[in-house]
Structure 1
Amino acid sequence: MTLAHDVTGSGPAVLLLHSTVCDRRMWDPQVPALAGAGHRVVRCDMPGYGGTPVPAGRFDEAAAIAGLLDDLGADRVAIVGASGGGRLAIEFASRWPDRVTALALLCTALRGHEPSAELQAFDEREEALLEAGDITGAVDLNVEVWVGPEAEDKTRDHVRVMQRHAFEVQIAAENVPYEPFRVEPDPARITAPTLLVTGSHDLPDFRDIAIHLDGRLPQSRHLHLDWAGHLPSLERPDEINALLLDFLPSAHR
């Protein structure tokens, strides 16, 4: 199965991996800025999000990304990953370190992380709402928890649309025997310069993850933003665009 995707611009490739609250449309504010600065911007939807259906059987998301990049002739790529997209970026960079020139991880998740009481409480509330058939309530919960105070109302509505679509696609595929194949990443294998971004208005898990990774990645820098929630690229897109453009040219060869 080929991941739904789009490509904009020309030059060194930059892959954008979305949060599991969103789909590839979350990067709408970043695509013009990155393409305008001379990058070939690739963004894709992971299974069950946006335009990519839930696959039947075993499916290796990281390998699917590798296959997509092969099809596009992108041997090496910088990766920008948000939350769950950051978790996938870490796995990809650990499995194929020679293919990754730079990593920008925005409030990244990490496989194997032990969730805090706050994150466990969120998961339980979301599950209860979905089991009760209250998709609207589950969507509103996600917007409340994951979108920071700097976001405009139109941004909240944008996240609401993406999250609702993901729930609808995934609920419709509840009987599909999807078995994600995942590999435990080894951060020590990652050779790319890495920027770790976290926010003061996010759950504490994601700052803890960044601090943990900053101590294990060979070339990393942790930037904590006092204004940011969990989705800074949507909350203050111009500021994050400037941050990415400053980071990528210095790291992307």
Structure 2
Amino acid sequence: MTIAHDVAGSGPTVVLLHSTVCDRRMWDPQVPALVDAGYRTVRADFRGFGESPMPDRPYSDAQDVVDLLDSLGVERATVVAVSGGGRVGQEVAARWPARVAALMLVSTALGGHEPGAELRAFGEREDELLEAGDVAGATALNVATWLGPYASDETRARVGQMQRHAFEVQLAGDPDVESLGVEFDVSDIVAPTLLVSGAHDLPDFREIAVELAGRLPHARHVPLDWAGHLPSLERPDAFNTLLIDFLRDGDG
């Protein structure tokens, strides 16, 4: 299957991979700015998010992204990925290095990372709420955890809507369908990489950004003192400036 997606604008292609708290609608504040700046945007919903249904057979998010690019005739693109989507972005950049011109990882996850106390506590509490059938409570927990102090009430409501929809789709799917785990080495990433972390995020994601900045050959880390886990939604104008500057600096 081809995952749900949309395309806007013309010019060099920028692929936008969403957080697993959201879906492709999280990029609504970025698409007009990128199009106005002369870029073609491709944004997609991973399986079980937004308009992409749950899989009915083993699948790979990274392969889905590459298949989508193939279907659109995109040979090379900049990848911008957030949180859980960041791990997918890493896999694409490591396994298909010729396809990725540049990589921007925001509050990214990392395979093999040992969760800290706060992240473990969050995961345990989310599991408890979902096992009790309290989808509303699990949704509220995610909104409170993943948005920083500058997120508006409207943004919090939008994230809650996306997260609740994802829970409902995933809980209705077949829990036994597996994601195909393909081993890859982040050291194989050769694309210029910008790592972004937020001071108001859980410590894990700042630690991951620092680690990856040391492991990747062409990486730099930009910590944002105002940001939580989802800076593109919390302060879209500031984030858009950072993103477009990265693209125009010749990295993307």
Superposed displacement of residue 19, structure 1? 0.2
**What stretches of structure 2 of length at least 5 have no aligned partner?**
none
Superposed displacement of residue 132, structure 1? 0.5
Instruction: Tell me the percent identity.
Output: 62
Question: Counterparts of 1:137-156 in structure 2 under 5 Å?
Answer: 137-156=137-156
| Structure 2 CA distance for aligned equivalents of residues 69 and 235 of structure 1 | 29
| Structure 2 CA distance for aligned equivalents of residues 116 and 251 of structure 1 | 36
Q: Which amino acid aligns with 1:92?
A: V
After TM superposition, the score normalised by the length of structure 2 is: 0.98
Residue aligning to 1:243: 242
Query: Residue 39 in 1 paired to residue 47 in 2?
Result: no
* Alpha-carbon contact 1:15-1:42 (below 8 Å) kept: yes
Superposed displacement of residue 252, structure 1? 4.7
| Structure 2 CA distance for aligned equivalents of residues 103 and 176 of structure 1 | 31
More divergent stretch after superposition (58-67 vs 36-45): 58-67
Residue aligning to 1:202: 201
Residue aligning to 2:191: 192
SS at match of 1:119: helix
Question: Counterparts of 1:114-193 in structure 2 under 5 Å?
Answer: 114-173=114-173, 175=174, 177-193=176-192
More divergent stretch after superposition (17-26 vs 53-62): 53-62
Sort the Cα spacing of 1:149 and 1:207 in 2 relative to 1 into closer, same or farther, 3 A. Answer: same
* Alpha-carbon contact 1:201-1:226 (below 8 Å) kept: yes
Superposed displacement of residue 176, structure 1? 5.2
| Structure 2 CA distance for aligned equivalents of residues 184 and 112 of structure 1 | 11
* Alpha-carbon contact 1:13-1:40 (below 8 Å) kept: yes
Residue aligning to 1:7: 7
Residue aligning to 2:49: 49
SS at match of 1:212: helix
**What stretches of structure 1 of length at least 5 have no aligned partner?**
none
Q: Which amino acid aligns with 2:65?
A: I
Query: Residue 86 in 1 paired to residue 86 in 2?
Result: yes
SS at match of 2:112: coil
Q: Which amino acid aligns with 1:242?
A: T
Residue aligning to 1:218: 217
| Structure 2 CA distance for aligned equivalents of residues 128 and 184 of structure 1 | 30
Aligned length, in residue pairs: 252
| Structure 1 CA distance for aligned equivalents of residues 64 and 250 of structure 2 | 25
More divergent stretch after superposition (13-22 vs 53-62): 53-62
Runs of 4 or more above 3 Å deviation: none
* Alpha-carbon contact 1:143-1:160 (below 8 Å) kept: yes
RMSD (Å), alpha carbons: 0.9
After TM superposition, the score normalised by the length of structure 1 is: 0.98
Q: Which amino acid aligns with 2:171?
A: I
1:86-133 C-alpha deviation (Å, 9 max, x unpaired): 111001100001110011111000111110011000000000000001
Residue aligning to 2:76: 76
1:16-66 C-alpha deviation (Å, 9 max, x unpaired): 000000000000000000111111100000010000011112112111111
* Alpha-carbon contact 1:193-1:251 (below 8 Å) kept: no
SS at match of 2:92: helix
Residue aligning to 1:64: 64
Superposed displacement of residue 209, structure 1? 0.5
